[in-house]
Amino acid sequence: MPRITTEDDVRIGDLSARTGVSVRSLRYYEEQRLLTSTRSAGGQRHYTAADVERVGFIQRMYTAGLSSRTVAELLPCVDSPSEENSDAALERMAQERDRLSAHIADLIRTRDALDRLMATNRAHRESLSAEVAQ
C-alpha cells in the first residue's frame, strides 16, 4: 500500500513534481545548504509544503543569474530577517539589483538591434519582390 503524505510531509519526488526541479537539483540545493530536509528511518528525504515556495524562490534567483553562493548569502534574511543580517543582505541585494538592471538594459539594446535588422531585412525582401513583380 502506498505511503500517504500530508501537506507538510513532501518527499523529494513530490517536491520535484510540484516545482518542476529535478531530484538531482534538489539534492544539489541541499549540498549548498539552500534547502534542508529531514530523513526517515529508511533515509528518505522529507520536506515541508513551505519548501515548494522556497524552491521557487531559489529558481527565480538562479534564473536572474545569481549563484548558489549569493543565494546562500541572502537566505538568512529571507528566513529570519534581523538587524544583524539585514544590512549585509540589503547591500548584497542592491548589488544584484544593479547587476540585473544593467543586464536588462543590455537585453533591451540587443532587442532593439534585432528589431532594426529585421526591419532592414523586411525592406530588402520587399524591394526584391517589387523587382520580380516588374
Domain boundaries, the chain: 1-80, 82-134
Q: What's the pLDDT tens digit per position in 39-92?
A: 988 888 999 989 999 999 999 999 988 999 989 888 887 777 777 777 777 888
Q: Which phi and psi (to 5°) does residue 11 adopt?
A: -85, 165
Q: Which three cell numbers stand for residue 72?
A: 546562500
Q: Is CATH 1.10.1660.10 the right assignment for the domain spanning 1-80?
A: yes
- With CA atoms as reference, report the closest residue to 37 among 3, 64, 13: 13
Global model pTM greater than 0.85? no
Q: What's the pLDDT tens digit per position in 18-32?
A: 999 999 999 999 999
- First-to-last C-alpha distance (Å) of the chain: 77
